[in-house]
Every structure is written in structure tokens, then in C-alpha cells.
Amino acid sequence: MSVAEAHAELLAWVAAARGALRWHLEGGEGSLGVPDGFEWSAEPPPERAPDPAPPRPVQPAQRFDTPPAPVARAQRDPDTQRAALASLHARLDGCVRCPLSATRARLQNGHGDVSARLAFVSDFPLVEGGEAAVLLGRMVRAMGLSPDQVWMTALMRCRPHPERAPAGDEVATCAPFVVEELAAVGPEVIVALGALPTRALLSTQAGIRHLRGQWQRVPSLRDVELMPTFNPEMLIQNADLKRWVWDDLKKVMTRLGTSPKRAGA
């Protein structure tokens, strides 16, 4: 085996390991098993400040056998909404409230229709033009909508290094801002893409595999309805999950009274 082939094989193993770890974290499992024969390093781990106490677990909301009847939204003034969003985003400009600011490429706020009925919340900002962002755009279009008809945002304003998840204090720092942003937009339905935004918005530690496909209500947003489902980056690593996500999005379409895009339309 050549050096180039060995390097390519090593990269493939690393990518597979990262995918397995992400699946584990998305599922909300408690711990990873330790392989037989594994020896811990004699060096003590570096000390770090303890994470804040996890949010108090809550019971998942009742699963609706039929979609809830649409609730009329209060009339909103788009100019007032834009002003509220501009004020929020100005406060976040140049944010250095947590360590993620030191390694981010840029800070990214939500974007889209300020009066959108539907909002998508990912864990981190999706890379523009990246595979996950393109896939999410296709999902929106398949719902009979265009990306400029929805609100796209992320729980975390900064994307962390791929080799680490955000710490509890980093999530706690960012979460109030996405809630404030969603309150300004005022969507009827939120689709939470993955475990991180689902847990933050619902104040739960339950795994995404236990919550996806079940209607939830977000108390901090006046009981706005939320549909948890898998993150697009998970779908790239496991295409079999796409049919589950489509089932979840069909429930959202029923709730909003929209129709899926016909093939060839």
C-alpha cells in the first residue's frame, strides 16, 4: 500500500468514527462503552470548570394522532419585526461572550422571511453552498416552499471546530438569542434539526430518536409548536433516515396546509 493510499484509508476511518460519534450524541445516549484492553493515560486530564447543571428534564408533549387545528397568529408589522431583528443582530455583532468566538470564521445570524410561518433551527450555522445546506434547501422545496419563504437560523451563532461539541455554558450563552430571534419572527411552526436545538428549546435531555416525529410545544415562545427531526448532516451520513425526516415534514405540511411539490413541477 502506497503512502497516498494509506493516508486516504486513514481519512476514511476518521470520517467514519466522527459519523458514529455524531450519531451517538444525536441519539442522547448516556455513555460510550470502553473497549476491552483499553488503558487510561497515566497523566491526569486537564482541569476545567464544571458545566452548569443540565436543564430540568420535561416530559415530551402529547403526541397528536391528528395535526392540531391551525391557530390564528396576531397580526405583525414587518417593519417592527425587522427593527427587532436588527437590534438583536447589532447586539451580537462581534460577540465574544464564549470561547467559540476565538475560532469562528464568522458569526452568522438567522435569515429569510421575517413574517415566515415556518422556521428551521439547526445546531450550528450551515456552510453556505455546503452539502447540508443544499440538502436542506431541497427539503424545503419538496415541501412546496422556497427558502426565501421560511426563516433559517441556528442555535449556536458560531460553528465550533468539527472535533468538539459546544460546552454546556456555550449553549446556555447562545440559547436566549435564538429564542429572542424566533419571538421576533413569530412562526407558527418550528422544525428543530437535531438534538442540540431540540433540547435547548424544550429544556429536556431526551435524545432526538425519542422525540422526532412528535409535536412539542415551546413554553418560552408562547407554546409555539415544534417538530423535532434529524439534522441534514446526519442524513448525509445515513441516507436511510431521509424517509423518517420526510414523514416528519409531511406532518408540518399538514399543520400549515401546504402541499408537497410534485415530481417534475
Q: What is the pLDDT of residues 35-55, one digit of tens each?
A: 344 343 334 434 445 545 444
Q: How far apart are CA 188 and CA 178, in angstroms?
A: 16
- CA nearest 139: which of 122, 156, 158, 124? 122
Segment holding 154, helix H or strand E: strand 151-154
The larger pLDDT score, comparing residue 66 to residue 217, is at 217
Which 3 state secondary structure label does DSSP give 6? Answer: helix
pLDDT for the residue numbered 161: 78
Does CATH place domain 77-256 in 3.40.470.10? yes
pLDDT at residue 160, rounded to an integer: 80
Residue extents of the structural domains in the chain:
77-256
Note the pLDDT tens digit of each residue in 70-108.
444 566 789 999 999 999 999 999 999 999 888 888 899
Q: Cell 434529524 belongs to which residue?
A: 230
Cell output for 126: 450551515
